[in-house]
Amino acid sequence: MSILEQTKHTKHTLEQKSMAGLVVELMRLNLWVRGIYGLHLKDVNLLRRIAKGKGVHSSLKPKS
């Protein structure tokens, strides 16, 4: 499979995912981020930030 085909396939797959599936993915990402950075952020806050596509980088910085 060429890179272009793979990209199209991935995009198509993402478009097929339901909202529930997306939330599960975000929760997995949240756990993964927590595991690496040892964060103790409010889940809802982080999920909202990721969903908006804003403040993701700032949410990754460990809070002192």
Q: Helix H segments across 17-64? A: 19-37, 43-52, 56-60
> What pLDDT is recorded for position 37?
62
- The pLDDT, as a whole number, for residue 3 is 79
Short-list 38, 45, 44, CA closest to 63: 38
Residue-range domain boundaries for the chain: 18-64
pTM to 2 decimals?
0.28
Alpha-carbon distance of 46 to 33, in angstroms, equals: 10
What does the pLDDT look like over 10-59, one tens digit per residue?
776 766 666 667 778 888 887 777 676 655 555 667 667 777 765 555 55
Structure confidence at residue 17 (pLDDT): 65
